[in-house]
Structure 1
Amino acid sequence: MTVARSGALARRLLPVLSWLPAYKRGWLMPDVLAGFALWAVMIPEGMAYAGIVGVPPVMGLYTIVPALVAYALLGTSRVLVVGPDTATGLISALTVGAIAAKGSADFNTLTSTLAVLIGAFFLLFGALRMGWVAAFIPMPVMRGFIEGLVCVTIIGQVPHLLGIEGGSGNFFAKLWSVLQHLPDVAPAPALTGLLSLATLLLLRRLVPHVPAALIVAVAATLLVDLLDGDGAGISVVGALPSGLPHLVMPRIDWVIIEQLAPGALAIVMVGYAEALGGAKAAAMQGGGDIDPNQELVAHGPANILSGLLGGFLVVGSLSKTSVAMAAGARSQVANLVAAVLCFLTLILLTPLFRGMPHPALAAIVIAAMLHLSKPRYLRDLYGRSRWELAVAAVVIAGELTLGVLHGIGLGVLLALLMLIYLTSHAQGAVLGQLPGTEAYRDIKRHPEAITFPGLLIWRAGGDLFFASIGHLGAGVRAALAARRPPVRHVLVDAESVNFIDSSACDALLGVIKDLQGQGISFAVARVRDEVRERMRLAGIEAAIGAEAFHERVTDGIRAWQAAEKAHGARRVPDPARDSG
């Protein structure tokens, strides 16, 4: 038994022990080919995304290998790819940029320190089994964040694309700076950047399965070298160090850690939501089970090792995962193959990239951001929920004016306020019986539903607690005032109530006594056992009687009809709904 438990614990902590023994020989070739495809994408993108983070391109290469290996051993997704990311990379740059000057050695060290801190948060949240935190970023907020980030990132890359001086500040300040410097655009850098961007977009449209980023990076490097781009004013990457990355000790300064922590937490929340979405999407298409808490754990060492080896933060990437899946990846062996190829590139091939032009790297970033943008989602949201569209628009506006961190913070705050509002304003409704059935529906949505004179059937719209019970009481009173003839009995359908707290019990008991004082009886139907026990302890069962608890709404109606008959009241229901 002890051995079995130890084995189960080992497989839970190291998911590789579960999938590797079941690995099929026929998967090897597809995984190897997928590994080459990932290598072709991650090398140029890793160097390009380093520009977003604000660090030298070689740090992008340092980032890739430890992240791929760590996730392959610890992750629960078969094909999720972990690596540099545009969304969280910009948050990293802004977080570190508030402490150190971009381009300085201190900036690079703090960027790696931030990655270690992010990894520590991931591990902590995984140990506390807090995988549910991603649910607090709803999709409209996430999409609004991404759309705003697309605008902010692109405007930040335009100066590199055109070879002009960039500005600082929010989106509009950077846009104004670009417009002011347009007369300074030199033909050679601008032509290099624009041709690279056009080629990327054309290749992705016509032949989406080819490694467009690698093709453009190699072609631009060769052309700039052949045409003496340096002499024409085209900025290039320059010499990249070859060999193993050196160990970078994080800055253990509590003042600096305190300054980095808000950005680290924002990256963990945004990055985890993105990674979990990618893992679930891959699982839906390729199969497998995803453990949200283990995903948090897996992202911990991936970031810690990246930071210790001179890299920056990593998260699960849906775009790179899509590349792996399109190339036929069957397991994390594809990531391990890509890691080996990236390691060999770092050891042997970095001199080949010294002539890569910065306009081409900017084009790679801009193309990736354009691919990330989904304006159609916002158009669809206009017809589905204008309230949620407004939330997404506020997030976008916040990013463009206040900054990325403030924008996502504003989005999360709005999401929490929306959650509080929805839970405290349960959507109760007056119910009527659909003709010829025992189904009961909202009479506003179903005009054909039959109501019963003297009876109000009220649906509680959700859980009852201190913030929502007042809304239920107000809804019942408003419905009673609108009904003609006057109501003599209230029947509450409590199927949607999974929880009721003591405050709600006390308030509900007050409503019941108030109704009874007006000569209106009260009953409930479809009450869950836990909820009924709390009602019993609060004295509600004693106030209305155990017989007032019904298994079905139909049972409650029949009991009321029998009671009315016993008192000589008319028992036949009027099929015509009261216009009030």
Structure 2
Amino acid sequence: MAPWHRSSGRELRMGRPGMVDRMSVVTRYVPAAGWLRKYRRKWLRADVLGGITVWAVLVPEAMAYAGIAGVPPLMGLYTVPLPLFFYALLGSSRLMVVGPDSATALLSAGIVGSMALHGNYLVLTSALAVTVGALFLLFGVFRLGWLANLVSRPVMSGFLQGIVLVTIIGQVPGLIGIGPEHGLFFHRLAACLRALPAVHGMTLAVGGASLALLLVLHRKMPRLPSAMVTVIVMTLVSTILDLESRGVAVTGTLATSLPPLSLPRVSPGEYLDLVPGALTIVLLGYIESLGAAEVSSLQSGRDVDPDQELIALGFCNLGAGISSGFVAVGSLSKTSVAAVCGVKTQAAFLVSGILSLLTLLFLLPLLSNLPHATLAAIVIEAMLGLDQSAAIRQQFRFSRLEGLLAMVSLLGVLYFGVVEGVVAGVILSIIVLLERASHPGTAVLGRIPGHAVYRDIRRHPEAITVPGLLIFRFDSELVFPSSRFFLHQAMGEVKRARDPVQVFLINAETINDLDLTGAQALLRLEEKLRRKGIRFWVAQMQDPVIDKLRRLDGGEKLTDGHLYESVGDAVRAYKKFMSRSSVRVNKKGT
């Protein structure tokens, strides 16, 4: 057996190629095997300190986000350890933090709230996490991560802005001490306004002080875990002043125990009923996680495997579900905290997970006097950091259509509900995508004076055209949604040409793919032009497209005739063709 040896970088390597190959396979599916094998002692301090900091952020946020999901704070804490452990083993990002998230918590509340009967809300919440985990795994196995592309950035911005507004208005009752309100955004807003005379003064003072402390710490001391500091301060204040006796709601006694590990006991039919809503969470949660992974990739300089992320998130949510938690996804804010702390590897989040277990075992009695208003303030402060109004304004400046997509998603969330708003935005995105695919840009080209380049004559009036030669460009792949439009535009340009067209030259450099419908559209165009006495030439057609045309009956008409390497070559050939034609005409005249 070949001996083990050490490299100069103090990383263990194996001498036998077969062992290296097997290790690379293991690393592919269990990325922790890679970073553990190459772990350096000098990283330990940064990972331990970073893990402590992330724990200090995760614990109060998990308790607060539990309120968004409509479950007790303890379920938020149950959601922390196993997702951290699973992602540390299976995630391809070295810095991303997985845990409870405000957006998916609100989605969870909407999905489960429409199904829960007879007090089974909590178990359905955990069952939803299991369903989400199973779908993540399914997406990963079949490499379906591309489906997340159906949610455009404007739709995501509108959705997040809707989440911000809905979540804030949902936390206002807890912040100011009025009864909880249910229903859609505007109903809750109206109810809160009507209840203003009944505001509980002491609760409002606690909530206002908590929010002010969070904002000041976030602005003045951004490296400090402001949520944990606020929880400690307000718990001490609540204990010293006995705020519970003054009517301020507190968390009360929390059971100090590890979460029971078992599959949520719901019927197969209920699991199936959860699937449509779970699909929404998978799409949006995956997009959020990829955003967090991008931050990680920029900081660490290491690429992230999107398909492996799906697998990792699947196990994270299965872990959350079987430990009586709710949905967990990658968190951009907590990943940013990890990056600022200089975290090197996922070992940091193993530390965070262990500390979370210790919190469940020993520290919960210390939080019994934590005011609910403080948890509401933590949620509101987190939502302010997700505000998308600047992004939506930028989308309107870029394109009214992009801004409209954002507003449809936003108003859908506010008027119809979170899931319905997302679905409306996604459907509109698909419609816009199909419209763009079926109506791509086209141009008639001319040569820019003094240069050998050809540009759109409508945008460059100075461009020089050659009488009798029409150079047409189609700015997209030629596939079934766009083939009819292609044929219509091409023949329309022939009709609109100032001079009778002798040769129709298509600049095919932007046609990077075509399907059978598109190939047949090219053949129909060649036939229509031939009937009008117009020759059909092609320039700069890509090799894969040529290969497809040659497999088509009649495709040789397009590939074996006038096929040119460049537009310039085709123009020179046209001029020679016309000069020979004029010579033949002159000879006939004599």
Instruction: Specify the TM-score bucket, using the shorter chain as the normaliser.
Output: over 0.9
Asked whether the equivalents of residues 489 and 521 of structure 1 are also in contact (C-alpha less than 8 Å), the reply is: yes
Is residue 207 of structure 2 the alignment partner of residue 185 of structure 1? no
Distance change >3 Å, CA 447–CA 366, structure 1 → 2: same
Q: Secondary structure at the match of 1:143?
A: helix
Asked whether the equivalents of residues 185 and 414 of structure 2 are also in contact (C-alpha less than 8 Å), the reply is: yes
Distance 2:288 2:210 in 1: 28
TM-score normalised according to structure 2 size: 0.93
Structure 2 unaligned spans of 5+: 1-16, 585-590
The answer for the alignment partner of 2:163 in structure 1 is 149
Is residue 27 of structure 2 the alignment partner of residue 11 of structure 1? yes
The answer for the alignment partner of 2:517 in structure 1 is 503
Asked whether the equivalents of residues 166 and 178 of structure 1 are also in contact (C-alpha less than 8 Å), the reply is: no
TM-score normalised according to structure 1 size: 0.95
Which of 25, 29, 32 pairs up with 2:45? 29
Q: How does 1:90-101 map to 2 (within 5 A)?
A: 90-100=106-116
Is residue 53 of structure 2 the alignment partner of residue 41 of structure 1? no
Q: Percent identity?
A: 44
Distance 1:84 1:499 in 2: 42
The Cα of 1:91 is off from its aligned counterpart by 0.6
The Cα of 1:540 is off from its aligned counterpart by 4.9
The answer for the alignment partner of 2:568 in structure 1 is 554
Q: 1:185 is matched by which residue type in structure 2?
A: V
The Cα of 1:28 is off from its aligned counterpart by 1.1
Q: 2:85 is matched by which residue type in structure 1?
A: V
The answer for the alignment partner of 2:272 in structure 1 is 258
Asked whether the equivalents of residues 509 and 539 of structure 1 are also in contact (C-alpha less than 8 Å), the reply is: no
The answer for the alignment partner of 1:446 in structure 2 is 460
The answer for the alignment partner of 1:89 in structure 2 is 105
Q: How does 1:200-211 map to 2 (within 5 A)?
A: 200-211=214-225
Q: Secondary structure at the match of 2:54?
A: helix
Q: 1:76 is matched by which residue type in structure 2?
A: S
The Cα of 1:286 is off from its aligned counterpart by 2.1
Asked whether the equivalents of residues 476 and 510 of structure 2 are also in contact (C-alpha less than 8 Å), the reply is: yes
The answer for the alignment partner of 2:448 in structure 1 is 434
The Cα of 1:2 is off from its aligned counterpart by 5.8
Q: Deviations over 1:215-242 (max 9, x none)?
A: 1111111112222211221100111111
Distance 2:149 2:520 in 1: 31
Asked whether the equivalents of residues 166 and 177 of structure 1 are also in contact (C-alpha less than 8 Å), the reply is: no
Asked whether the equivalents of residues 109 and 248 of structure 1 are also in contact (C-alpha less than 8 Å), the reply is: no
Asked whether the equivalents of residues 114 and 312 of structure 1 are also in contact (C-alpha less than 8 Å), the reply is: yes
Q: Deviations over 1:23-78 (max 9, x none)?
A: 22221111111111101111110100000111110111111111111000000001
Distance 1:276 1:48 in 2: 24
The Cα of 1:5 is off from its aligned counterpart by 4.1
Is residue 236 of structure 2 the alignment partner of residue 222 of structure 1? yes
Q: 1:398 is matched by which residue type in structure 2?
A: G
Deviates more, 1:223-232 or 1:168-177: 223-232
The answer for the alignment partner of 1:525 in structure 2 is 539
Is residue 96 of structure 2 the alignment partner of residue 80 of structure 1? yes
Distance change >3 Å, CA 518–CA 310, structure 1 → 2: same
The Cα of 1:504 is off from its aligned counterpart by 2.1
Asked whether the equivalents of residues 546 and 559 of structure 2 are also in contact (C-alpha less than 8 Å), the reply is: no
Is residue 415 of structure 2 the alignment partner of residue 401 of structure 1? yes
Q: Secondary structure at the match of 1:547?
A: coil
Distance 1:55 1:142 in 2: 26
Is residue 485 of structure 2 the alignment partner of residue 471 of structure 1? yes
Distance change >3 Å, CA 374–CA 430, structure 1 → 2: same
Q: 2:514 is matched by which residue type in structure 1?
A: I
The Cα of 1:106 is off from its aligned counterpart by 1.6
Q: Secondary structure at the match of 1:432?
A: strand
The answer for the alignment partner of 1:69 in structure 2 is 85
Q: Secondary structure at the match of 2:420?
A: helix
The answer for the alignment partner of 1:167 in structure 2 is 181
The Cα of 1:313 is off from its aligned counterpart by 1.0
The answer for the alignment partner of 2:382 in structure 1 is 368
The Cα of 1:4 is off from its aligned counterpart by 4.5
Give the superposed CA RMSD.
Answer: 1.6
Q: How does 1:367-386 map to 2 (within 5 A)?
A: 367-386=381-400
The Cα of 1:3 is off from its aligned counterpart by 4.5
Q: Deviations over 1:401-459 (max 9, x none)?
A: 01000001111111111111111112111112222322222222233322222111111
Q: Secondary structure at the match of 1:20?
A: helix
The answer for the alignment partner of 1:575 in structure 2 is none
Asked whether the equivalents of residues 494 and 527 of structure 1 are also in contact (C-alpha less than 8 Å), the reply is: yes
Distance 1:540 1:443 in 2: 32
Q: Secondary structure at the match of 1:231?
A: helix
The Cα of 1:545 is off from its aligned counterpart by 6.5
Q: 2:76 is matched by which residue type in structure 1?
A: G
Distance change >3 Å, CA 542–CA 74, structure 1 → 2: closer
Q: Deviations over 1:149-181 (max 9, x none)?
A: 101111111111111013222110110110111
The answer for the alignment partner of 1:301 in structure 2 is 315
Q: How does 1:271-420 map to 2 (within 5 A)?
A: 271-420=285-434
Q: Secondary structure at the match of 2:98?
A: strand
Distance 2:20 2:222 in 1: 47
Q: 1:24 is matched by which residue type in structure 2?
A: R
Q: Secondary structure at the match of 2:179?
A: coil
The Cα of 1:312 is off from its aligned counterpart by 1.1
Asked whether the equivalents of residues 477 and 510 of structure 2 are also in contact (C-alpha less than 8 Å), the reply is: yes
Distance 2:128 2:99 in 1: 15
Q: 2:67 is matched by which residue type in structure 1?
A: G
Distance 1:96 1:386 in 2: 35
Q: Secondary structure at the match of 1:522?
A: strand
Q: 2:195 is matched by which residue type in structure 1?
A: H
The answer for the alignment partner of 1:574 in structure 2 is none
